[in-house]
Amino acid sequence: MQKRFNRKWIAPILLVIGIVIFFLPPVYSRAMPRIDGWIASVKYLINPPDEATFQPQQQTTVDTAATQMMQTHVATQTLQATLTPTPGPTLAPTVTSTPLPASVNLTGFKYVDQRNRWNYCGPANLTMALDFVGWGGNRDDIARVIKPGIQDPKLDFIQQGRSDVNVMPYEMVDFVNDETEYRALSRLGGDIDVAKRLLAADFPFIAEKGYYEKDYTGKIAWLGHYQFVTGYDDAKGELIVQDTWNDGPNFHIPYDEFTSSEAWLSFDNIFIVVYAPEREAELLQVLGPYADDAWASNHAREVAEERIADSEGIDQYFAWFAKGTSHVELFEYADAATAYDQAFAIYNELGKDDKQRPYRMMWYQTGPYKAYFYTGRYQDVIDLANVTLTETISKPTLEESIYWRGRAKYMIGDTPGAIADFREALRLHPNWSPAIQALQDLGVQP
């Protein structure tokens, strides 16, 4: 007599089949990003990230002597040197008086986009800059070094490092200088004049800047973005950029829009130049006073202070933040902390119109952590990192925030918490030297 199939097994069998199908690479690769996006949307609807605020609780009390001691310590500390863009070569700055052409449109590179990749504007833009000087690699070659984070091993076959939402400028500079035969430097305080001088001399550059677009709520949200600048047109008053995302190749941006507070100034007008070693002396001459890293940072501070004086609201917030960043680059941590305090005070009053607070700011920049840490404000470092990691992002995958929180935890006596943070930072960014060094300094194996 034939046994009848027990229907109670139908549901478990279908469940197992469904799980197997879900984890097949072609299905998983399409479904998981949508699920991640849905989960993030739900979390943001319950706890809107633009409503999260940070209120500094401590005051900067470091005197001049202590500040000088800290500056000396930082200048000689290997770990800090790793986290700070290495100053490039210096030369007695001169600026050519040769009249600049009315327009420049550089070619000789292959346009690269960031499509089919997560948070890939850094590798895509750096690929174009390196392609211009003759490098033969691609965006994934770069990402494997500067964006290797691991959050979901099941997705490594699609793109390892998808969780890393940002690549810092110093990581891009270090990649060029350490992994290729070419050279790179970065400077703060860029403006249209130096941009035109560079482009006219056949030196395109990468700018990190902000922009706005609508998010899932219909509000205007601020994000950070890299763009490869390859030309200008004085008659139209525009720069020509290669945009790896929405705007595509040879996109024209008006000078005043490019240099606005929410755009270039929100990153302290930073720019990165990739060049062949044999052209170094030529580049330094074109840069003029920007060849001196300290001059550039001081100039950036002056630009920010001018913008502070004639702006308000969100524009003034970006200007105060940029001022703090300039002070950090000059190792003036007490002044930097004061500037960031003012920036956060303005930030907390924003968000009363259709524009969100720029809650992603700390995804891209670490200046406040350095300023507060080196003025002894360890609890403010921890509080700022906690707000950033738990209230502004769907998953706590910002290794820089975790790292600085770990350093602050150690300073207040929480060594186990510090070790846990350093290990988590290293998990998210394998082989990241700051986290490795921090663990070694504590006598712990990475």
Burial of 124 (0-12, 13-18, 19+ CB in 10 A): buried
Q: Is residue 133 part of a domain?
A: yes
CA 176/CA 182 separation, integer angstroms: 6
Place of tokens 């990468």: 206
Q: Which helix (H) or strand (E) holds 383?
A: helix 378-391
Pairing of strands 103-105, 251-254: unpaired
Which of 257, 291, 325 lies at the terminal end of a domain, its last residue? 291
Q: Is residue 21 part of a domain?
A: no
Tell me the pLDDT tens digit for each residue of 314-341.
Answer: 999 999 999 999 999 999 999 999 999 9
Instruction: Kindly indicate the confidence band of residue 82, based on its pLDDT and cuts at 50, 70 and 90.
Output: very low
Given a contact cutoff of 8 angstroms between Cβ atoms, the answer to whether 229 and 275 are in contact is no
Tell me the pLDDT tens digit for each residue of 279-299.
Answer: 999 999 999 999 999 999 999
Instruction: Kindly indicate the confidence band of residue 40, based on its pLDDT and cuts at 50, 70 and 90.
Output: low
CA 215/CA 88 separation, integer angstroms: 38
Higher-scoring residue by pLDDT: 343, 25: 343
Q: Which long-range contacts (CB under 8 A, 24 or more apart) does 73-79 make?
A: 74/331, 74/374, 75/331, 78/437, 79/434, 79/437, 79/438, 79/441
Task: Mark whether 218 and 73 lie in a shared domain.
Answer: no
Task: Mark whether 284 and 317 lie in a shared domain.
Answer: no
Tell me the pLDDT tens digit for each residue of 207-260.
Answer: 999 998 876 666 778 999 999 999 999 999 999 999 998 899 999 999 999 999
Instruction: Kindly indicate the confidence band of residue 17, based on its pLDDT and cuts at 50, 70 and 90.
Output: confident
Task: Mark whether 175 and 263 lie in a shared domain.
Answer: yes
Q: Which CATH number goes with the domain that contains 330?
A: 1.25.40.10
Task: Mark whether 142 and 278 lie in a shared domain.
Answer: yes
Burial of 428 (0-12, 13-18, 19+ CB in 10 A): buried
Instruction: Kindly indicate the confidence band of residue 117, based on its pLDDT and cuts at 50, 70 and 90.
Output: confident
Q: Is residue 191 part of a domain?
A: yes
Q: Is residue 340 part of a domain?
A: yes
Task: Please give the tally of structural domains in the chain.
Answer: 2
Say which residues have a Cβ less than 8 Å from residue 384's Cβ, sequence separation at least 6. 54, 362, 368, 369, 372
- Quote the pLDDT of residue 187: 98
- Quote the pLDDT of residue 64: 39
Q: Is residue 208 part of a domain?
A: yes
- Quote the pLDDT of residue 232: 98
What tokens were used for 341? 């305090």
pTM: 0.83
Task: Mark whether 214 and 361 lie in a shared domain.
Answer: no
Instruction: Kindly indicate the confidence band of residue 440, based on its pLDDT and cuts at 50, 70 and 90.
Output: very high
pLDDT at 85 over 60: no
Instruction: Kindly indicate the confidence band of residue 50, based on its pLDDT and cuts at 50, 70 and 90.
Output: confident
Q: Is 73 left (phi over 0), alpha (psi -120 to 50) or beta?
A: alpha
Task: Mark whether 314 and 416 lie in a shared domain.
Answer: yes
Tell me the pLDDT tens digit for each residue of 343-393.
Answer: 999 999 987 665 678 999 999 999 999 999 999 999 999 999 999 999 999
Read off the pLDDT of each residue in 87-107 and give the average, rounded to a whole number: 71
Report the mean per-residue pLDDT for the chain.
Answer: 85
pLDDT at 43 over 70: no
Read off the pLDDT of each residue in 105-125 and give the average, rounded to a whole number: 92
Tell me which range, 60-69, 92-101, 331-340, 342-351, is most confidently predicted by mean pLDDT: 331-340
What tokens were used for 208? 């990190």
- Quote the pLDDT of residue 98: 77
Q: What is the span of the domain harbouring residue 445?
A: 46-83+310-446
Task: Mark whether 364 and 432 lie in a shared domain.
Answer: yes
Kindly list the distances between the CA atom of residue 151 and the CA atoms of 165, 185, 232, 395, in Å, as whole numbers in the listed order: 12, 31, 40, 9
Give the number of other Cβ atoms within 10 Å of residue 10's Cβ.
10
Q: Is 284 left (phi over 0), alpha (psi -120 to 50) or beta?
A: alpha
pLDDT at 198 over 70: yes
- Quote the pLDDT of residue 119: 84
Q: Is residue 88 part of a domain?
A: no
Instruction: Kindly indicate the confidence band of residue 78, based on its pLDDT and cuts at 50, 70 and 90.
Output: very low
Nearest-Å Rg of the Cα atoms of the chain is 23
Give the number of other Cβ atoms within 10 Å of residue 95's Cβ.
15
Instruction: Kindly indicate the confidence band of residue 115, based on its pLDDT and cuts at 50, 70 and 90.
Output: confident
* 150 three-state secondary structure: coil
- Quote the pLDDT of residue 41: 56
- Quote the pLDDT of residue 4: 60
Q: Which CATH number goes with the domain that contains 220?
A: 3.90.70.10
Read off the pLDDT of each residue in 183-196 and give the average, rounded to a whole number: 98
Task: Mark whether 330 and 439 lie in a shared domain.
Answer: yes
